[in-house]
Amino acid sequence: NTSKYSEGSKIQWKVRTAGVTKVYGDWSIQRTVDIYAQPTLEMSITDASGALVETLTSFPFYISALAGPDTQAPIGYQVKITSNEFYETIDETGQTKTVNKGDAVFSKYYDITDQLLLEMTADSIDLESNFTYTVTCSVTMDSGLSAEISHEFNVSWNENVYLLDADIEIDSENNRLSGFYYDKT
């Protein structure tokens, strides 16, 4: 238990043994243990105006994280967003995709030594309205210690649904295909 020592303290020791001869030998190499405080991690999720987000209503949104104490430096952050519920959605290729409770819909490691600030857009993550998600951020410090924090948020936005109607004409004389598209929203 190192709780009685302050951040930055060092515990040094060396030993020598007598063994069965009861004659002490040479001292061992001196060993050192550095004492570090447990890292802290603060995280916030904000909208474009800087307001804290509990219910996400539009893109972009921002994830920021600040690690401490100042006597240790972050060497990287891992950000993961997981679904809190089961649902089915359509992926970017038009295929039906199943998302299970606990599945990561976003996961990325950031090799940075400062405060983390991410801008999340519709291009970087696909979230479904009327579902909840958990953002988990972990930081690894140069001391070898780490910290983790999680925050849950809801998604509630109006989605535009487009129903397309298309007419296709084939010009067999010129081997051409032409189409006319009508947006029925």
CA distance 5 to 8: 8
Q: Model-level pTM?
A: 0.76
Q: Which of 8-22, 106-120, 139-153 is predicted least confidently? A: 8-22
Position 175 pLDDT exceeds 90: no
3-state secondary structure at position 112: coil
Check residue 143 and give its pLDDT: 92
Position 134 pLDDT exceeds 90: yes
Whether 125 contacts 81, CB under 8 Å: yes
Token pair recorded at residue 165: 């109607």
Beta bridge partners of 79: 108, 137
Angle at 29 (CA atoms; ends 27, 34), nearest 5 degrees: 130
In this predicted model, which residue has the larger pLDDT, 152 or 182? 152
3-state secondary structure at position 19: helix
Q: What are phi and psi of 19, to 5 degrees?
A: 65, -160
Q: How many CA atoms lie within 13 A of 113 on its CB side?
A: 6
Residue 113 is given by DSSP the state S
CA distance 93 to 106: 18
Name residues whose C-beta falls within 8 Å of residue 56's C-beta, 6 or more positions apart in sequence: 45, 47, 127, 153, 154, 155, 156, 157
Can you tell me the mean pLDDT for 5-22? 89
3-state secondary structure at position 170: strand
Whether 68 contacts 115, CB under 8 Å: no
Position 59 pLDDT exceeds 80: yes
Residue 43: what residue type?
Answer: M
